[in-house]
Structure 1
Amino acid sequence: MLDIFKNNRYFLRFFLSRFISCIGDSVHSLALLWIAYHYGKSGIVLAAVMISFSLPAMLISPIAGAVADSKKRQRIMVITDIVQALSVFGLALLAFSGKLNLGFILLFTVFMSIASGYFQPASLALVPQIVRAEDLTKANALVRISTSFSAVIGPVIGVGLIAAIGVPLAFLVNALSFGASALLLYGIKAERPASNIEKGSYFDALKDGFGLIKKYTITSTLIGKLAIINLFYGSLVIIIPIIAESVYHSGAKGMGFMMASFGFGMFLSSILLGNVKIKAKEKFQLAVGLLVLGIMFVVLANLLFFSVSLITLFAIGFSINFLNVTILSLLQRKLPNEILGRVMSFLSAVSFSLMPVSYALTGFLVSLIGVKWILVVAGTAIGLSGLRIAVIKDFD
C-alpha cells in the first residue's frame, strides 16, 4: 500500500498536506462548535455557524469547477490554503484579545467557506493527474486515512488545547496547518488540464455542470445517493454537541471522544480499502454501505449509554468513509480528466447545498421533536436509498 509513496513524490506531498491540514481542521471544528454552542446554548446558533461554512461554498461551486478545469490545480490549492490560514489566524487574534463574538465567527467562516469551495474540486481533480489509474483506489484510501486519522487525534488534541489554554490556541494550530499545507502543495508540478472551457457567466457554468451530469450516467445515478448521505450526515454535526452536553453532561471532553470515535471508524475503513481488494461489484458495495449506515443512525437514536453512542459513531464513520472512497474512485476512473473539476464541483455543490438545509432543519427540529426522531427518520431514508441502488439495472 505504501509503495505508492516511493515512486510518486508528488502524491507524497499531496498526502502530507492533507494530513497536516486535516489535523488542524479537526482541532478547529471542535473549538468552533464548542464556542458557538456556548454563545447560544441552542441548535439554532450551531446551525447558523455551519450554514455560514457550507452555503458560500455551494454558491461558488459552478465557477470553482470551471476554474479547476482551466487553471493549474495545485496553484488553486496553494492560494486557497493561504486564504484559509489568514482567516483562521484572524479568529485566533480576536480570541486572544477577547474580542471574538458570533459576528466575527460567521464572517471569517464565510471567508473559509469560499476558499474551501475552490479548493475541493481542484483537490479531487488533481489526484488522477499525479496518480496512475490503477492506483486511484489505493491513493484515495490513503488520502482518506489521513483525513480519518486526523479526525481521531484532532478532537483529542483540541480537547487538550481548550482545557490547557482555551480556544485561541486551537484556532492558531489550524492556521499553522494551512500554512504548512500550502508549502507542501507548492512543490507539486502538474500541467494545466487540457480544456475547451469558454468564458461565460455564472449561469453558463451552472448549465455546463448540469449538462455533464446528464451526459454521464454514472454521475446522475450517484448524485441522488450523495445528496441523501449529506442531507442526513449534516444532522450529526448539530446533534453530537447537543448529545454530549445535554444527554451525557460530558462537556468538551465527551464531544471530543464522540468525534474521535467517528474519525476512528473512518480511519479503519481507509486501512481496509487501501489493503484489501474487494471483489464484490461496486453497486453491491454501495448498497450494503448505505443499508449499514441507515441502521446505525437508528441505533444511535437509542441514547441509553455513552459507550453505545461511541460504538455506533464508529460504525457510522466506517460506513461514510467506505461510501466516499468507493464513489470517488468510481468517478475518477469513469470520467475524462478534463471534465473532472466541473463534475466534482457540481457534486460538491449538491452536497454543500443540502448541508445548510440539514443544519437549519436539525436546529429547528431538535427543539420540536427531539434528537431521537431526527435520527430515526435519517436512518430510514438512508436505508431505503441503499435498497433503491441495489435494484438499479443500468448502474455502470
Structure 2
Amino acid sequence: MESWKRKFAIIWTGQLFSILSSAIVGYAVVFWISMETRSAEVLSLAVMATLLPQALLGPLAGVYVDRWKRKRTLIAADMFVAFCSLILGLLFYFGKAELGYIYLLLALRSVGSAFHSPAMQAAIPLLAPETELMRISGVNQAIQSVCSIAGPALGALFITSFNMTVVMLLDVAGALIACTALLFVTIPDPVVKEQVDKKSVVREMKAGIREVRRHKGLGELMGISVMVTFILMPIATLFPLMTVNHFGGDTYQMSLVEIVWGSGMLVGGLILGLWKIKIRKVILINISYLVLGLYMLFSGLLPPQDFMVFVILTAIGGISAPFYSSPFTALLQTHIPSSALGRVFSLFGSLSLLPSMLGLLATGFIADSIGISRSFVWGGILILGLGILSFFIPSIMQLERKKKFKNSGGLPLC
C-alpha cells in the first residue's frame, strides 16, 4: 500500500470512531432534551448552541489553524471536545445537568469543532496527490453518511439502555482513539516563505478572503453553494413534517426517510471514493444542483398516496448530495495554497452556517405561511434555477481550465 494510502487508512479509522461517537452523543442529548422538556423552543436553543459558536468563530479559528501545526491542532481540538463531554457526563452523574450547563458545554464543543474541521480539510492536500483529492473527499463523505445513519439509531439505543453519563463517556473514548491514531502518522505543515506578524489576525483574515478572490470564479462558486445551503437547510428540517402531515406517515416512515437519505449519501460518497470520475468538478457540482432541485420540486408535487415515490426520490437526492460537496472541497484544496486553506475552509463554513441558521429560524414561518409541500416546490425551483445559472457564469465554467496553484503552501499569508 502506498504511503499516503496507509496514512489515510490510519486517520480514517480513528476519525470514524470519533465522528460516530460524537454523532451518538449529539442525538442522545437531543433525545434527552426532547423527552425531558417536550419543548421545541428548548430544542432549537440547543441546536443554536451547537452551531452558532462554530459559525461566529470560523474566520478567526482559520487564522490560527494556518499558524499552528496541523497535527497538534487536530489532537488539541479532539481532546477539548472530549473534555467538554466528560464534564457534561459528570454533571449527569451528579444530577446537576441543568439546561444552562448543557447549552454552555454544547457551545464549547462547537468551539472545538471550529478548529478541528478546517484543520482536517487543510491537512488533506499535504498528505495525498492532487489527483486523488476528490476520491478522498468522497470517502470522507461516506464516513459522515455512515455516522449520520447509525448515529440516531445508536443514540436511541444507548439512551434507553444506559444512563447519560455512560453515553457521554463514549465521546471521550472516540476522541482518544482518534488522537491515538494521529500519533502514528506524520502530517506535514505548509512552508511559509515570509515571516508573518503574529499580531495581524485581522490582516490574515482579510488575506484569506483575498485568496478566494484571486481565483476568478471561485468566489462565485462559493456564493452559489452558500445560497443552495441556505435554501436546503430549512427544507431539510421539514422532512418529518412532510412525512407526517402530507403523506400521513408515522414514526417508522419518518425514520425510513432519514435512513434512505443517509444511505443515498453513503452510496454517492462511495461512488466518488471508489471510481476516478473524469467529469470536470464544476460540471458535477452543477448537475448535482439540478438533481437536488428536481428532487425537491417533484417531491412537493406528489399526491399524499405516493409516499414510496417520495422515498425513491429521497434516495436519488441523497446520492446526488456528495456530488456537490465533495468536488467543491477538492476544488478549494487544489486552487488554494495550503498556507491559507484553514482560513478559506473556516470562512466557507461560517458563510454556510450563518445564513442557514437564519433559514432554520424561519422554518416554522415558511411551513405555516405557504405550506410544507409548497415549501419543497419553491425550494426546488430556486435550487434548480441556481444550478442552471451556474452553467451560464463564464468565470465558474472556466475555473478548472485555468492554471491552478501547486499546493505547497508557498504564498505569503498576508
Question: Quick check: TM above 0.5?
Answer: yes
Gaps of 5+ in 2: 400-414
Q: Judging changes above 3 Å, is the alpha-carbon distance between structure 1 residues 105 and 376 closer, same or farther for their aligned structure 2 residues?
A: farther
Report matched runs for 1:270-285 at 5 Å: 270-285=269-284
Q: Indicate the percent of aligned positions where both proteins have the same amino acid.
A: 23
* Residue type at the aligned position of 2:329: L
Q: Judging changes above 3 Å, is the alpha-carbon distance between structure 1 residues 262 and 341 closer, same or farther for their aligned structure 2 residues?
A: same
Report if aligned partners of 1:26, 1:154 keep a CA contact under 8 Å in 2.
Answer: yes
The Cα offsets for residues 359-390 of structure 1, whole Å up to 9 and x where unpaired, read as: 21224434444433333332222111101111
Aligned counterpart, 2:408: none
Report if aligned partners of 2:133, 2:330 keep a CA contact under 8 Å in 1.
Answer: yes
Aligned counterpart, 2:151: 154
Aligned counterpart, 2:25: 28
Could you say what secondary structure the match of 1:191 adopts? coil
Report if aligned partners of 2:135, 2:275 keep a CA contact under 8 Å in 1.
Answer: no
User: How far is 1:30 from its partner?
Assistant: 2.6
User: How far is 1:264 from its partner?
Assistant: 0.9
Q: 2:62, 2:215 → 1: CA distance?
A: 17
Aligned counterpart, 1:374: 375
* Residue type at the aligned position of 1:111: L
User: How far is 1:111 from its partner?
Assistant: 0.4
Q: 1:37, 1:243 → 2: CA distance?
A: 20
Is the counterpart of residue 67 in structure 1 residue 40 in structure 2?
Answer: no
User: How far is 1:314 from its partner?
Assistant: 2.7
Is the counterpart of residue 130 in structure 1 residue 131 in structure 2?
Answer: no
Q: 1:294, 1:28 → 2: CA distance?
A: 32
Is the counterpart of residue 186 in structure 1 residue 183 in structure 2?
Answer: yes
Q: Judging changes above 3 Å, is the alpha-carbon distance between structure 1 residues 233 and 23 closer, same or farther for their aligned structure 2 residues?
A: farther
* Residue type at the aligned position of 1:173: L
Aligned counterpart, 1:288: 287
Gaps of 5+ in 1: none
Could you say what secondary structure the match of 1:103 adopts? helix
Q: 1:95, 1:179 → 2: CA distance?
A: 21
Tell me which structure has the larger Cα radius of gyration.
2
Report matched runs for 1:1-396 at 5 Å: 8-38=5-35, 41=38, 43-165=40-162, 169-195=166-192, 196=194, 197-200=196-199, 202-236=201-235, 238-240=237-239, 242=241, 250-251=250-251, 256-301=255-300, 302=302, 304=304, 307-395=308-396, 396=399
How many residues align? The count is 392
Moved more, 76-85 or 329-338: 329-338
Query: Alpha carbon RMSD of aligned pairs, Å?
Result: 2.8
Report if aligned partners of 1:293, 1:383 keep a CA contact under 8 Å in 2.
Answer: yes
Q: Judging changes above 3 Å, is the alpha-carbon distance between structure 1 residues 110 and 7 closer, same or farther for their aligned structure 2 residues?
A: closer
Q: Judging changes above 3 Å, is the alpha-carbon distance between structure 1 residues 123 and 31 closer, same or farther for their aligned structure 2 residues?
A: same
- TM-score with structure 2 length normalisation? 0.84
Moved more, 9-18 or 123-132: 9-18
* Residue type at the aligned position of 1:380: I
- TM-score with structure 1 length normalisation? 0.88
